[in-house]
Amino acid sequence: MEIIFYHPTFDTQWWIAALEKQLPGARVREWKSGDNEPADYALVWHPPVEMLQGRELKAVFALGAGVDSILSKLREHPEMLPLSIPLFRLEDTGMGLQMQEYAVSQVLHWFRRFDDYQALKQETRWEPLPEFTRDEFTIGIMGAGVLGSKVAESLLAWGFPVRVWSRSHKDWPNVQSFAGESEMGEFLRETRVLINLLPNTAETVGIINHALLNQLQDQSYLLNLARGVHVNEDELLRALENGKVKGAMLDVFSREPLPVESPLWRHPRVAMTPHIAAVTRPQEAIAYIGKTITGLERGEAVTGQVDRARGY
């Protein structure tokens, strides 16, 4: 079995050694420009078109939960990867736990009013504030995939009311489910903390805009853990200024790194991290890839294949 590997920042030699240990008998090589030798599988992140074009592969694995870069290249170069070749993404591989940590820590930060106390500290004011109650702190999660389910599960454990909005209804214990555009307004009306975990598709670009934010409760919060293109940043800033949104925690942005001139850097009620909410954990990723390739070789049913029409 021949596997080609390409990632612009990973320690390639470590990954090759670990993959060959996980898949005894496989030969893994780093793909470099001009390598047109046969391969059975390709493991990639932001791959050059020439790496995949014209290859008769059994499958391609994206080395992350998102496949945006591959799908965007396919729109310009559909010949890069025929529909007959399945594309897989990393389903969880440690990302679920990371998303749980991030979401729970931030929701509790807002719930216990630590942002308000930090603002009072800047004014040297000693002022105990009224507590929030859980029944007024409903969490609304947009996106009901693997990561959305993990985040919902973790917040339920803290006693928060949790609801989810997605393409289709979900039957999750103790979680209200809403689906489609017709139920979006009902989903938003009772939501105090909006957590975005949507996939990046043509339908979701710019979805978090003035019209959507205006349907939330007053003094609501936004936590974006999905993609920067989901948020209209100018309209979010307007909602922060008029008080509709009380605070935002952003891990992803429309341009990354975030340009120094962006007003998000300086806004006192915007917190941010540099796209680190959930990163690929090598050992878990290699175990998933090894298990999936073994299943494909045996003709078994596997999970994680991307529906290219949906974009995830």
In the annotation, is 275 catalytic? yes
Residue 286's SS3 state is helix
The active-site residue out of 55, 89, 227, 230 is 227
54: left (phi over 0), alpha (psi -120 to 50) or beta: left
One of 167, 275, 281, 308 is an active-site residue; which one? 275
Q: Which strands sit side by side in the sheet containing 59-62, from one edge to the other?
A: 27-30, 2-6, 41-44, 59-62, 87-88
CA distance 311 to 98: 23
**34 closest CA partner among 16, 50, 56:** 50
CB atoms inside a 10 Å sphere around CB 176: 16
Confirm if 134 and 128 have CB atoms less than 8 A apart.
no
Structure tokens at 230: 């989901």
Instruction: Spell out the alpha helix ranges (H) of 157-281.
Output: 184-189, 210-213, 233-241
- The DSSP code for 308 is T
Which tokens go with 289?
């890839």
C-alpha distances out from residue 71 to 39, 83, 203, 311, Å: 21, 12, 14, 7
Question: Is the CA virtual torsion 31, 33, 34, 36 positive or negative?
Answer: positive
Which amino acids are annotated catalytic? 227, 275
